[in-house]
Amino acid sequence: MSKRILIIALGLLCVMGAKAQTIVIKSSEDYSPFVFGHNLEHTRAAVNSGLSAQMLLNRKFAGKPSKNQGVAGQWTGIGGKVFFQQGGPAYTKHICLPSMSRWNEIGAQYIQNLEEGQVAGICQGGLFLKGGETYELRTVTKVSEPLKLKVELTDREGNKVYASKTLSLAPSEDWVVTGFDLTPSSGDREGSVRYTFDKKAEVAFGALSMMPKDNFHGMRPDVVANLKAIGPRLLRWPGGNFAGEYRWKDGLLPVDQRGPLQAVTEIETQPYSLGYDYHEIDTDDFIALCREVGAEPMLTINISWNTPEESAQWVEYCNGSTDTEYGRIRAERGHKEPYNVRFWSLGNEIGYRHMEGPDGPLAYSEFAGKHADEMLKVTPCLEFCSSGPYPNDNWALNSAAVLADKVEYISLHHYAGGRRNFTTDEDVRKSYEEITASFKGNVDIAKRMRASLDATGKRLHISFDEWNQWYSWYRPSCVAEGIYAARTMHFYLNETNSLDIPIVCYFQPVGEGAILVTPEGSTLTANGQVFALMKAHQDGRICKVADNEDYSTAATIKDGVVTITLINDSFDTDREFVFNLKGEVLEAKLLSSTDVIPYTFFEESPLEIPASRKTVRASLPPHSVALVRIKTQ
């Protein structure tokens, strides 16, 4: 990294009841923008009920039907003497690798109305309907007789009809896809969608879809806006663990036809959707998202199920010209220019029991090397990240070092903490202090990883592409975890160069950590508020702060403006910072909270900055984070 001497010297005095110590910064250096990365794993609440605008659950009829009735999970049957069957022939499918398919992934909902004039069909409730908002719907159907299919948006019981559409369907050998819009006249927090017919006939549903018409590539625009607000410079997708279940070629099918993907090794990846993902977002959508929010894409291949040739074909789809087979397919899908994806992960957490694939370093290095070789034939300048149970000297020597001539990034993951208790004042203090101090686990494991990789004698970078509190994705917003996120980000900012960690990804932003998503809307959590504040450091040069062992300070400089973020992690004591710096204060704001327990957020307020001829002072209350930007003289 290049270095230069700053024209100004930034002095920082930290006052906490002890004699102040002057800290002088005299140099700055470039650093990787990908320290501001996020792991957007296609899992749990990140896509389903998160990023995806799709409102219908189990819309492709995966899994087993209800007992004694035959109605697909998440759906309710309508009618008395109605015969429901779930199974095939189905509309959904997988493109290749039938060995990867699971029996319950592919199905359709068949409905036989046994009495003429009887109303039969299916419905799904729990839909948050906005009055006056337009929704786009699609039905994929086959019918045995010409009939009228009524589609209605109603109240919970189906008594109030807010919008309706009658489709005239005729028998066909092929599945029929019908798209239309509905705009409810009134809003309803517990609305329903109903699909009914009254003819003695059979209707088969291959897939059903409903989402707001203003969606962004099938994603919620409000969630996309909040993702943009936290400033991700790199997004790692589709996993994580989900990478071992993902089949990229299915994304070449129409979205309604993509077969659901069953959680293979454990239901952890899809606990809220009957153990299935419905493949709502494909490669094109993900790239569009990256471009919208300003992030570099990082794709993780399914190294266990895809062949090296199939991994190379994914590279060709992303990076190939229109003269290549898969580049031409991309162009035919409306994307003529190559995506130029440079970062690729060769699997995820290989060597752990929960992931399929080779579990030893030599076997993995041989396996991953074959994928890398084929992928490099397509794009020679790819940058790879290898996997393993790191830090581990055996894996460093027999995998990382073996692959070093083509793989320079080595994946590292760490999750801190455990069960917390907030029921008494003492419990709150103890949990807060444990949470905020647990950032040191990231420090310790990164240093051990650095030493292990350096011992190989190879030039290897750390990709710290998953970090967070353990099980934080199941918990509400919490200021204590916001302070933890701030301290962790300060560590990465201060040590990205010294420990050679160019890539850092928080797990994970949407629906499970930084952005709270509900049917009504989305908002930043305490962690998200911290990331939105920290992005002020982007595109500057990192300033090394001496005597900053607690990482309470991070500073960058760009175009003569020094950006400083400060953390007071104390539970109940104010902390004062004094800058020995001349200049104009351009911005000064504070994120603070009177409480730290679950369901808390930071409040943003102006930060008072008393200034003298030589110093600038900032006083921070307990558990707070501040941003100060100063134009130097």
Query: Within the chain, how many helices (H) and strands (E) appear?
Result: 11, 32
Is a pLDDT exceeding 60 seen at residue 358?
yes
Which pLDDT score, from 0 to 100, does residue 141 have? 98
Where does the pLDDT of residue 537 fall: very low under 50, low under 70, confident under 90, or very high at 90 and above?
Answer: very high
Domains of the chain plus CATH, in order, are: 3-30+543-632 (2.60.40.1180), 33-53+215-308+336-372+381-538 (3.20.20.80), 76-95+102-212 (2.60.120.260)
Quick check: 448 and 494 in contact, CB under 8 A? no
- Which of the four pLDDT bands, split at 50, 70 and 90, describes residue 584? confident
Residue 442 dihedral angles phi and psi, to the nearest 5°: -65, -40
For residue 256, pLDDT over 80 is answered with yes
Per-residue model confidence (pLDDT) at position 463: 98
Highest mean pLDDT among 261-265, 519-523, 617-621: 519-523
- State residue 27's pLDDT score: 76
Task: Answer yes or no: is pLDDT of 497 > 50.
Answer: yes
Mean pLDDT of 457-473: 96
Please, are residues 283 and 251 in contact by the beta-carbon 8 Å criterion? yes
φ and ψ at 113, to 5 degrees? -85, 115
Give 26's contacts (C-beta < 8 A, 6+ positions apart).
Answer: 5, 6, 9
Tokens standing for residue 273:
């959707």
Name beta bridge partners: 508. Answer: none
Token pair of 120 as six digits: 């039969």
User: What's the confidence (pLDDT) of residue 544?
Assistant: 84
Cα–Cα distance, 586 to 575 (Å, whole number)? 22
pLDDT at position 265 is: 67
Residues 6+ positions from 225 with CB-CB distance below 8 Å = none
Helix (H, G, I), strand (E, B) or coil at 382: coil
Say yes or no to pLDDT of 17 above 80: no
588, exposed or middle or buried, with CB in 10 Å at 0-12, 13-18, 19+? Answer: middle
Longest dimension (CA), the chain: 90
Query: Is 189 in contact with 162 (CB distance < 8 Å)?
Result: no
Asked if pLDDT for residue 14 goes beyond 90, the answer is no
* Continuous H helices in 457-518: 479-495
Question: Mean pLDDT throughout 310-334?
Answer: 98
In this predicted structure, what is the pLDDT of residue 545?
78
The string of pLDDT tens digits covering residues 407-427 is 999 999 999 987 889 999 999
Tens-digit pLDDT profile for residues 113-128: 999 999 999 999 999 9
User: What is the reported pTM?
Assistant: 0.95
Residues in the chain: 633
pLDDT-derived band of residue 88, with 50, 70 and 90 as boundaries? confident
Q: Which residues of 215-225 are buried (b: 16+ CB within 10 A; e: fewer)?
A: bbbbbbebbbe
- Tell me the mean pLDDT in the region 494-508: 97
Lowest-confidence region among 11-20, 377-386, 435-444, 495-504: 11-20
User: CA dist 358 to 352, 364, 456, 527, Å?
Assistant: 9, 5, 22, 36
Q: How far apart are CA 216 and CA 221, in angstroms?
A: 6
Report the C-alpha gap between 36 and 503 in whole angstroms.
8
**Is 50 exceeded by the pLDDT of residue 487?**
yes
Mean pLDDT, rounded, of the chain: 92
Beta carbons within 8 Å of 384's beta carbon, 6+ residues apart: 344, 345, 346, 372, 375, 403, 406, 407, 408, 409
Q: In what order do the strands lie in the sheet with 603-606?
A: 603-606, 583-592, 624-632, 561-568, 553-558, 541-543, 22-29, 3-15, 575-580, 616-620
**Does the pLDDT at position 39 exceed 70?**
yes
Q: How far, in whole angstroms, is CA 209 from its chain's centroid?
A: 23
6 versus 118: which is more confidently predicted?
118
Per-residue model confidence as pLDDT tens digits over 160-180? 999 999 999 999 999 999 999
> Is the previous residue joined to 89 through a cis bond, with omega within 30 degrees of 0?
yes
pLDDT in tens, 208-227: 999 999 999 999 999 999 99
- What is the band of 579 on the pLDDT scale with cuts at 50, 70, 90? confident
Output the pLDDT for position 269. 86
Cα separations in angstroms, 2 against 9, 28, 31, 130, 563? 18, 9, 9, 54, 20
Q: Quote the CA–CA distance of 197 and 77 in Å, as a whole number.
A: 12
* Per-residue model confidence (pLDDT) at position 101: 63
User: So what's the pLDDT on residue 6?
Assistant: 35
